[in-house]
Amino acid sequence: MMFQILQDNWLLFLIGQYPHGPIGGLAMTLFMAVLGLSLSFPLAIVLALARLSPYRWLRLPATAIVHVVRGLPLIMFIFWVYFVAPLVIGRPVGGVETLVITLVIYEASYLSEIIRAGIQGLPKGQVEAAKALGLGYFPTTFRVVLPQALYNMLPSMVSQFVSTIKETSLGYVISANELTFAAAQVNNQLMTQPFEVYGLLALTYFALCFTLTSVARLLERRIAAERGSGLSIAAVPA
Amino acid sequence: MIKFENVEKWFGSHQVLAGVSGEVNRGEVTVVLGPSGSGKSTLIRTITRLEPIQRGRIFVGDVDVASREVNINRLRQRIGFVFQAYNLFPHLTALGNITLGLERLRRIPRTEAKERGVRELARVGLADKADALPAKLSGGQRQRVAIARALALDPEIMLFDEPTSALDPEKVGGVLHVMKALAKSGMTMIVVTHEIGFAREVADTVWFMDGGKIAESGAPRIVLNTPEHPRLKRFLARGGDH
């Protein structure tokens, strides 16, 4: 039965109604996840640096933003953006745009915590060596600290990407044309096979996310091995 | 060239520097000896404000290090610092570690910076390791790259914080060799170390620190051969404290 459904509807699952209608399905899911996460990335770096700043006027607002966003469910943000954004900009905002905007705000907070952990996890000697050379804040941050912190945090970022993929399924509630939405369309058409349709949906998500978490694990092992070979030696104060 | 005036520093309620005064002249090598916790590493870290001080004054030339008007990054560029744990940038090659400062601080174009970097590596005997990441180098090689990194910026002063303490015994010689050559070239140096032999051979002045103070100082042949301070006598009898 599942095979039959897949055979009849795989194109819808994959790319939605494209080219006869809007692009959707898995393609849209991936598109939104990638776009959401990449747009949130620079924002996340700014938030992380602000949270670690010695200046209160930078640190406090950034900390507040991160805590507020992390303390609220994603669906609430989706509703806020969906219903409030049109009032602000004076025109309706589509489901896909809404979801991407929401993801940028939401993921920026989570990513910033990952980046902050990466920065704080670096041996103290790295910043000290940069200081001792006479490098200022920006070259130290962008040439010494971030390249290492971001690289070390790659596995966590891939995990965050997995979360993002799963979160795009909430786009269903605002009719963002993504994978879950496609499954619902199929289900509405067939009417009688929800178990098979949603089973297929689950399998698709799982295959994608499991592959990615495996990549994350692989990366983690590789980075740990590189570190183990003496990339960073703990300073022994005398 | 470097002058300490009654320098005091606390970590919380623990006083690490309890009124250090002393002077290092241009072209001289000062070796700082002392047991662990005597404040010797902290002392040289105060010179470039890696550690702030709470009382007293430190001058580098006529620059008051603690003064708010000092451009600390400019001061640091005049002073090379070598760490016990090397602190090389692990994501950059040996050459990249050296050219970073040249490009960002001296605004030297990349190709020129690379030529200069290779020359500095050759000076510490590692010209063939230019493209190696620090993880692929031995401890001694890493420390020599760290020295080359500091020297590339043409410092007037070089500070060494236990540069050989993290090394296997057979790797120590190569690093000391580089430091001796540097001393001979007339570099102003302060070296915190446990290598009493190095002090004997290279130092113009030895400072023995104990309890956050310079307990004894003078020419090495006097301080090391006829020590007066009881702690120094014990220290030398043990062959240096590790």
pLDDT at B240: 67
- Pseudo-torsion of CA B72, B74, B80, B83, nearest 10°? 40
Model confidence band, residue A4 (pLDDT cutoffs 50, 70, 90): confident
User: Is the Cβ pair B91, A129 closer than 8 Å?
Assistant: no
CA distance A140 to chain B (A): 10
Is the CB of residue B62 less than 8 Å from the CB of residue B143?
no
| d(C-alpha A66, C-alpha A46), whole Å | 12
The alpha carbon of residue B138 is apart from the nearest alpha carbon of chain A, in Å, by 10
Chain A hits for B161, Cβ within 8 Å: 238
| ipTM for this model | 0.92
pLDDT in the model for residue A229: 54
Give CA–CA dist A134/A152, Å, rounded: 25
Tokens (6 digits) for B100: 């970073």
Considering only CB atoms, A151 lies closest to which of B76, B86, B91, namely: B91
* Stretch A158-175: mean pLDDT: 94
Check whether A174 has a pLDDT greater than 80.
Answer: yes
List Cα–Cα distances, A151 to A114, A129, A147, A157, A175, in angstroms. 11, 19, 6, 10, 36
Contact flag B90-A231 (C-beta cutoff 8 Å): yes
pLDDT score recorded for residue B4: 96
Confidence (pLDDT) at A217: 94
Order across the sheet with B63-64: list the strands.
Answer: B14-24, B2-11, B55-60, B63-64
Q: How close does chain B come to A38, measured CA to CA in Å?
A: 23
Contacts of B170 (CB under 8 A, 6+ apart): none
The reported pTM is 0.89
Residue A236 above 50 pLDDT? no
Least confident of A144-153, A160-169, A173-182: A173-182
Measured at the CA of B88, the angle between CA B152 and CA B72, to 5 degrees, comes to 60
Residue A230: list chain B partners with CB under 8 A.
Answer: 134-135
SS3 B17: strand
Chain B: residue nearest A134 by CA? B73
Q: pLDDT tens-digit profile of A21-70?
A: 888 889 999 999 999 999 999 999 999 999 999 999 999 999 999 999 99
Number of domains observed in the structure of chain B: 1
What whole-number distance in Å separates Cα of residue A44 and Cα of residue A111? 6
Q: Do A125 and B153 touch (CB under 8 A)?
A: no
Cβ B180 vs Cβ B28: under 8 Å: no
Show residues of chain B in contact with A132, CB under 8 Å: 48, 50, 76, 80-81, 83, 150
pLDDT at B238: 82
pLDDT digits 0-9 by tens, A181-232:
989 989 998 889 999 999 999 999 999 999 999 999 999 999 888 776 544 4
- Taking an 8 Å cut-off on Cβ atoms, the answer to whether A143 and B104 are in contact is yes
Could you read off the pLDDT tens digit of each residue along chain B, which spans 242 residues?
A: 999 999 999 999 999 999 999 999 999 999 999 998 899 999 999 999 999 999 999 999 999 998 989 999 999 999 999 999 999 999 999 999 999 999 999 999 999 999 999 999 999 999 999 999 999 999 999 999 999 999 999 999 999 999 999 999 888 999 999 999 999 999 999 999 999 999 999 999 999 999 999 999 999 999 999 999 899 999 888 876 55
B82, B89, B242, best to mutate vs chain A, most A CBs in 10 Å? B89
Predicted pLDDT of residue A2: 80
Which of B41, B48, B85 lies nearest to residue A233, judging by beta carbons? B85
Structural domain boundaries, residue B56 = 2-239
Which residues in B lie closer than 8 A to residue A150 (C-beta atoms)? none
CATH of the domain at B64: 3.40.50.300
B72-125 pLDDT, tens digit each:
999 999 999 999 999 999 999 999 999 999 999 999 999 999 999 999 999 999
